[in-house]
Amino acid sequence: MVSIFHLFPLCCMGAGAAILALEGNERFGVTGAIVGGLIGAPIGYFVGHIPWIISSAVYARYLKKSSTVKLKRKLSEEYYVAQLLIAELVVRGEDVEQFFPHITDMLKSSNRDERIHGLRNLQIWFPRMASRLNQFDTMEETEALKDALNELCKCDPDAGPILETERQIQTQ
């Protein structure tokens, strides 16, 4: 997936290379243009990353200031940052296993993008369970994938999901 945070550094890299190549050409000729372009490209690329660095720092600060209840509520609303929300909650002492049903719900979603994020979260927080899904294309919503997900999270209609923990998988 390509976002503005991927395109902006590349555009800045091109702009940096072009500006310094033109300036180098004007001052020192062709050699100056080549050297200017080679120096301008990495400078532009670095400058292009500054918005990402700033936005990451601002969001990390926002997460630290948010209450645990608010972060848990956002977990169901903002699937695209679920790994960051779970990480902050785990740092606060929350048990990661309580988020497993949410992650499997993401994987069962009809929204392809949500399934992608669900798989990434499963890989981060429950890697052994994620390895069980390697044979399935999580981008395609299929019955085989749903059956595999149901195996990961055996559900009892009255008790809710019964989590098969990492420790249980390690003993198999």
Domain ranges across the chain: 4-63, 67-171
Q: Can you tell me the distance from the alpha carbon of 138 to that of 119, in angstroms, rounded to the nearest whole number? A: 7
Q: Can you tell me the distance from the alpha carbon of 172 to that of 167, in angstroms, rounded to the nearest whole number? A: 9
The one-letter code for the residue type at 50 is: I
Q: What is the pLDDT of residues 27-86, one digit of tens each?
A: 999 999 999 999 999 999 999 999 999 999 999 999 999 999 999 999 988 999 999 999
What is the pTM (predicted TM-score) of this model?
0.70
Question: Which residue, among 33, 30, 83, 94, has the nearest Cα to 59 in the 3D structure?
Answer: 83
Q: Where are the beta strands (DSSP E) in the chain?
A: 153-156, 160-163
The tokens describing 86, both together, are: 């779970």
Q: What is the pLDDT of residues 132-156, one digit of tens each?
A: 776 666 666 667 777 777 776 664 3
pLDDT value of residue 116: 86
